[in-house]
């Protein structure tokens, strides 16, 4: 459980060293960073062919999200559930999601994405305390070189 925000680089190093959390919260709208972290999770967590489910609040329902979270397989199939546009989650589902975060299943990873890095309310504060919170804003110029080198290596450029 992280109390403060960590950088995408710190998160990626943890994931690649197989230190994977059950719940992640992304704060920021840098889609490149979102994809890098989610790809890392898939590579490490879903190595044997698990599935990734994308949900967009406002298009998909909260009950669909809760079904995905609470559905268990007899064969412990691993899955990553990515939820975008989390600000639109209805208040009546907040307690159910918080309860899940307190006792998340080991065969599922929940990724909640808030495009606004400064989003703040009681629900978000509670989620931040129960998850690994990652600052997904565009990096400062002094970190840009590090990310360009990583991207070039990853894509064999």
Is 35 buried (19+), middle (13-18) or exposed (0-12) by CB count in 10 A? exposed
- What pLDDT does residue 47 have? 65
Rounded CA-CA distance 100/25 in Å is: 14
Q: Is pLDDT at 15 greater than 60 in this prediction?
A: yes
Q: Which two tokens stand for residue 126?
A: 């509670």
- What pLDDT does residue 154 have? 73
How many whole angstroms from its chain centre is CA 84? 9
pTM of this structure: 0.84
Q: Which two tokens stand for residue 25?
A: 């919260």
Per-residue model confidence as pLDDT tens digits over 70-125: 887 666 778 899 999 998 999 999 999 999 999 988 889 999 999 888 888 899 99
Q: Is pLDDT at 20 greater than 50 in this prediction?
A: yes
């Amino acid at each position: 459980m992280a109390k403060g925000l960590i950088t995408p680089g710190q998160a990626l190093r943890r994931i690649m060293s197989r230190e994977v959390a059950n719940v992640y919260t992304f704060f920021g709208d840098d889609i490149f960073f979102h994809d890098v972290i989610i790809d890392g999770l898939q590579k490490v967590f879903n190595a044997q062919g698990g599935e990734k489910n994308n949900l967009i609040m406002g298009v998909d329902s909260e009950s669909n999200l809760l079904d995905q979270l609470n559905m268990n397989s007899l064969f412990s199939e691993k899955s990553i559930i990515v939820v975008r546009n989390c600000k639109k989650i209805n208040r009546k589902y907040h307690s159910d999601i918080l309860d899940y975060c307190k006792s998340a299943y080991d065969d599922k990873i929940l990724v909640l994405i808030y495009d606004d890095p400064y989003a703040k309310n009681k629900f978000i504060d509670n989620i931040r305390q129960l998850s690994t919170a990652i600052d997904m804003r565009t990096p400062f110029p002094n970190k840009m070189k590090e990310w360009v080198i990583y991207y070039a290596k990853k894509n064999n450029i």
